[in-house]
Amino acid sequence: MIQKIKGLVAAPFTPMLADGEIYYDLIPNYYKLLRRNRIVGVFINGSSGEGASLTFKEKAKITRRWVEQKGKGDDMKIINLVGGTSYGETIESAIMSSEAGVDAIALVSPYYFVPDDPGQLAEFCAKVAASVPDMPVYFYHIPVLTGCNIPMLSFLERASDMIPNLVGIKYTHEDFMDFLSCLSFNSNKYDMLWGRDENILPALSLGARGAVGSTYNYAAPLYQDLIRAFDSGDLNKAIELQQLSVNMIMLLGKYGGISTGKAFMRFIGLDCGAFRSPVKNEWINRYPEFVKDVKSLKMDKLFSKP
């Protein structure tokens, strides 16, 4: 039986030192930060975690370090992204994840030889999922990075019979028609985790109850207040908070893109360094200006508490 996730799942950044090596020893404090801010899970080695820029050995060590943080009775969910361009290497990563003790794995579409039909995509995922038959498997739909624009409803129609351990999709796209259809598919069977922080509110209105995002690392209270406002029927308050989220996220683009998330982490007091090449880190040379812009948002109480 699929156990659906309710709440915010953070997509952690991979802590880096000045020389670009991974700062594994920061992970325990990172884990404590997320627990303090009522995050219910982590999606590691994903886009924010620079998984595509890491070696297999690095990702394996990161995976083990996150799993090691869980104490007895700890219900934090750890989902590891194992997808890539080779199903052979992805299978190795899936098996490693299972041996490390993660709660679930996630697969992403191959992004070099890109599948162009749902059966082709489902076949790739099925090869990997079969290597860990007892492990819950999510598909990570992020066409802006993979170039795979197959509707997820079409994928589910093929994958539901091919992948017994498929439990859901991390849906990072703006196609609300497709998302709703996936939510409703097979009597609401699958766990549909919303992946666009800047429009979580419309996703909630369609029935989403779980979400994965990078801004939950440093602004979890904002989204928790937004969800509470929505659940209580205070739509005006929910809209106000969603607009504040949008204003905050616009700073990512202003200061260079995805790596600016690490500027926010420095701002709240957990310095994760910079992104690896070829991702630009424009925010580093403009950090004082960035801080001024963040403070102008007047949302101090809505940032995660270190």
| Catalytic residue ranges | 140, 170
- The contacts found for 254-263 with CB under 8 angstroms, 24 or more apart, are 254/293, 255/282, 255/283, 255/286, 255/290, 256/280, 256/281, 256/282, 256/283, 257/282, 258/47, 258/48, 258/214, 259/283, 260/290, 261/13, 261/48, 261/214, 261/215, 261/217, 261/218, 262/13, 263/287, 263/290
* CA dist 126 → 56, 132, 239 (Å): 21, 10, 40
Structure tokens belonging to residue 237: 């308050």
Q: 9 — phi, psi (to 5°)?
A: -110, 120
Q: List strand residue ranges (DSSP E) for 32-148, in order.
A: 41-44, 77-81, 104-108, 137-141
- b or e along 89-111 (b: 16 or more beta carbons within 10 Å of the residue's beta carbon)? ebbbbbbbbbebebbbbbbbbbb
